[in-house]
Amino acid sequence: MVRGKNMVFNGYFDIEAADAEFPMGWVPVNGDEGTRWEWSREYAVLGEHTVKVCNTSYTRSMVGIVQDQRYAIPVRPGEAWELSAWMKTERPGVPLRLMAVLMDDGLGYLSEYHLKFSSTTEMQRYSGLVVMPAGVTRVKVACGVHDSPETLPSILWISWVSLRRIGDSSGGEDRR
């Protein structure tokens, strides 16, 4: 099957935002006053940078990064997409999340599609398939840790994030 190109803007985290020391097109999500997000060069796989998330508190939701709304990716219902990211944690067994935030043309939130994994201490590629449901015309990608009190504190490195169109739900190939 022909795989489309990565549609995630700055998925390698190598373009710095003009007003901050953070990769352009990405914003921190959740966390609290004890959570730190760093633009790092540690453990980079496919670019020169990673995003390092140091989480110390149980927040009951994923702590990580999400694409800025301005970089939402256009999609069509029925299309099949591969969502992937390279990630690692300081210790094994930390719950990881890769998410497709599903939206409409007005960039209104519709729902989320979660891919759940358990981390390793080695940089590893995590991936899964997302088929776009009816009504969805835009997607943002998010990833991070979904800590439990037993896995804190946690440190996560995210090296690369990708969303590639691979076809449609009938198995047709991507011709874009």
Q: What angle do CA 44, 45, 50 make, to 5 degrees?
A: 30
Is residue 167 predicted with pLDDT exceeding 90? no
Q: What are the structural domains of the chain?
A: 26-168 (2.60.120.260)
Bigger pLDDT: 110 vs 20: 110
pLDDT tens track for 145-158: 987 777 778 899 99
Residues in the chain, total: 176
Q: Which pLDDT does position 169 carry in this prediction? A: 64
Q: Which pLDDT does position 153 carry in this prediction? A: 81
Is residue 176 predicted with pLDDT exceeding 60? no
Global confidence as pTM = 0.88
Q: What angle do CA 118, 94, 114 make, to 5 degrees?
A: 55
* Whole-number average pLDDT of the chain: 87
% the chain with pLDDT above 90: 60
Is residue 70 predicted with pLDDT exceeding 80? yes
What DSSP letter does each residue of the chain carry, written as one string?
-----B-STTTT--SBPTTSSSBTTEEEES--TT-EEEEE-TT-SSSS-EEEEEE-S--SS-EEEEE-GGGPEE--TTEEEEEEEEEEESSTT-EEEEEEEEE-TT--EEEEEEEEEE--SS-EEEEEEEEPPTT--EEEEEEEE---GGG-SEEEEEEEEEEEEEEETT-PBP--
Tell me the pLDDT band of 171, cut-offs 50, 70 and 90: low
Tell me the pLDDT band of 21, cut-offs 50, 70 and 90: confident
Q: Which pLDDT does position 2 carry in this prediction? A: 42
Bigger pLDDT: 84 vs 17: 84
